[in-house]
Amino acid sequence: MAPRGAAAPEAPLNPRLPAPLWLVLAALLGLVVGIASQRMGAPRAEPEPTADVATVFDRVRPSVVDVRVPGDREKLGAGVVVGPLEVVTARHLVFDAAGPLEVRAHDGTLQQARVVGTDARSDLALLAIDRPLEPARMGNAGRVRVGDTVLAVGNPFGLSHSLSVGVVGAKDRRLQAGGGPRVGFLQLSIPLNPGNSGGPIFNLEGELVGLLTGTHTEGQGIGFAVPTDVVAEAMPDLRAGRHVSRGFLGIRAEDTERGVEVVSTIPTGPADVAGLQPGDLVTGFDDVDIGRTTDLYDRLDALPGGHRTHMRLLRDGQLQVLEVELSDWASQPVVIAGMTLRPLAGSGGRVVAIRPRSRASRAGVQLDDVVRTVDGLPMYAPADVRTALSTATSGSLGLERQGRALQVPI
């Protein structure tokens, strides 16, 4: 018993547990509370950006040029230097240039440029210049992720070397052009204004990852860019001044639960001649498996016109192999709706013959008309027009007639 007047010993915090254990628990509790207090009291540090946008812009500016296309209707755009004497820009900007183009560097110096080669499918054009400029560093578009920050440098409304910043909203977007989806584009949260076409897209490392194309999206609040891997694939043909040949099969296909199903074939087209039928499931080209329509169009883009390929398909559950000779997507004349179209750069073709009492004749189509669009979709080759009109009973032709644009129901 404690002496009278002495303080009574403190009772344990929990008489059921020994004191040393409670001391350990109290220490742990204090540690947890301290950590929580630090987290609540101190603001969370934001992650450091991988690069300063202004610094990247200063680094890439010397590789960007403004492009001016003289003529009755002057056109403005942008381009990127890919070799000391080479500039890549958008094909639709320069395909109908009547004479030399004008290129303005970031320091204001001017020089003339000429078109060396173009590719309608990817909307690319290669220009040659006489005085060297600083080439951009090529990046790998395959490493670009949805959500990555990118920089666009262009010439919107003639405002030279303007910077826009956005993010990658999607990859491998297939924009319809009548003859099937075009190459897979990067979709960007960057509004594309007149004058931005052909402008480069850079990542935060200052590497070129794409080239803006304005054929579908001017004024729509988003932009699309040709990835650099597509640019690299086209460069040998562009440098040689050759037409970039891409295979044309002549089918309309769609993704189904069973696979890539043939919906229709173009009469006398390569698929029709080889014996392909609606309902067939395409499973492969040679040793390349086909699981989606994007696989199909990627394979066709990789093969030139005239290439013979062994096409694997399922028909009524049975595996079959057909030999198909692809035609050239952009070079063949076609007959559709009673009119004969011959290839003309940057269009669906020029009308060179019209059958009396045909759809085209009744619609008022005339000789030498140039087909620009079908139902608002841009046409880049006669094959586009054939596919678009053969799968619809009616539509609207966007024509150019003696320099005037008009719409004709057909």
- In the residue annotation, 298 being an active-site residue is answered as no
Helix, strand, or coil (residue 140): coil
Check 63, 164, 197, 245 and give the catalytic one: 197
Q: Is 123 a catalytic residue?
A: yes
Element (H, E) at 203: none
How far is residue 175 from each of residues 12, 94, 161, 216, measured CA to CA in Å? Answer: 76, 21, 27, 8
Place of tokens 């990817």: 122
**The pair of three-digit structure tokens given for residue 224, joined into one six-digit string:** 């699309």
Residue type present at position 72: D
Out of 92, 161, 216, 243, the active site residue is 92
Question: Can you read off the two tokens belonging to residue 320?
Answer: 């079959």
Q: ∠223-303-397 over CA atoms, to 5°?
A: 50
Amino acid found at 49: P
The one catalytic residue among 106, 119, 122, 123 = 123
Q: What is the DSSP letter of 50?
A: S
Known active-site residue 375:
no
CB under 8 Å to 269, separation ≥6 — which residues? 248, 249, 250, 251, 327
Chain centroid to Cα 191, Å, comes to 15
Q: Which residues of 145-178 are buried (b: 16+ CB within 10 A; e: fewer)?
A: eeebbbbbbbbbeeebbbbbebebbebebebebb
Q: What's the rounded Cα separation, in Å, for the pair 70 and 101?
A: 7
Nearest to 326 by CA among 353, 296, 369, 292: 296
Please list the active-site residues: 92, 123, 197
